[in-house]
Structure 1
């Protein structure tokens, strides 16, 4: 399934995004607002990060609404996405206006590309849509975003570092946390669009079967990386919202 990029970036109505400085920003990949994958994932997770609309949990014979709602709580707060540059506070020397001007320019100079195949994956105890195999253009794109936007990121607080449990990270992940503010970048980056929180081992097969059926129309097919989305978290712990969806419109080399 191929997703066409829009010619202009999508910004939400002024009424939905306060112009005050958000606590944190994030650079994510998201399909377009009206893309069928965005709709399917939003209904599954229970919230649309573009509109803020919420939905009741779907009910299955083997997975009740209350359990499904609990198992999707974490990805529901973040909204359907793949992390490219993890949430960060702005450095004191820059403003939201600076960030957005740079993001729009970056997107206008960066060409869209495709992941050859999207599949359902299980990463530890959570499920996500992932590439069928390592795709170097995707790795290169993610690294470029992390490096290019680094001047906008405030240094992590000690509390934020501790929150990442550095003692449980590999040497390279700890180095990434110190250098880039997030462990899973560069060689440790793995593109994933999260569909669940931590699923108990006893419920993993049920969850896998439900997700395989629910997202069958999107797996085994290419996914167009056609955008860079700026998400905002207005207060710590609040749901992340789409601030702007920026099409990658650079010329292909």
Structure 2
């Protein structure tokens, strides 16, 4: 079984690949892709048996890939936002996994793929799968507290005290409104799945910001928006909303 992973976070991709290697099924990871653009280019020229795809990528949503390619390859989507459950079944989705990855649920999803593939039963099973996914998603809870570390200390930070998160290399940092910074154990993609869209938004591959942390918003170019935060960034870096996220960002601000 040749599998393609579409995931832009190194740690999340490594975790998924490691779980696939432990699977009782004969699985070979044929390729890992990190963006909408690269996925479209690769899948136009190559085939696989199954795709495991994160929905949120650095340059957009993975739905854009499958809308363009009109692929019939079965897909297992990974995210935590219930609003995407129904849309995922517009494609050949056979399951909808929630992060962080769980070995048991992943193996069940692979078993489901094998059974459906052998029985040619994709269409007949969609309604049943959708009911299962909606039931699972309803039990998810949005994070209200974050366990962080600073030196030898571990501290629990309340959601309303968080100004923004910043990914830097292999690390993820939490910044509070009182200008303190802490190390947070996780990846920006897995964290995004746990946060309430009412308060937080991932503006690019490095930053997730809280609405009340925005100080100023200004036009930077025809397809870029510049943001000033409060407290200010502790690094010399211009904070820009990625071109692919501008429409969603504006909608988020207007809700």
Question: TM tier, shorter chain?
Answer: under 0.3
- Larger fraction in strand: 2
TM-score, with structure 2 as normaliser:
0.22
Bigger CA radius of gyration? 2
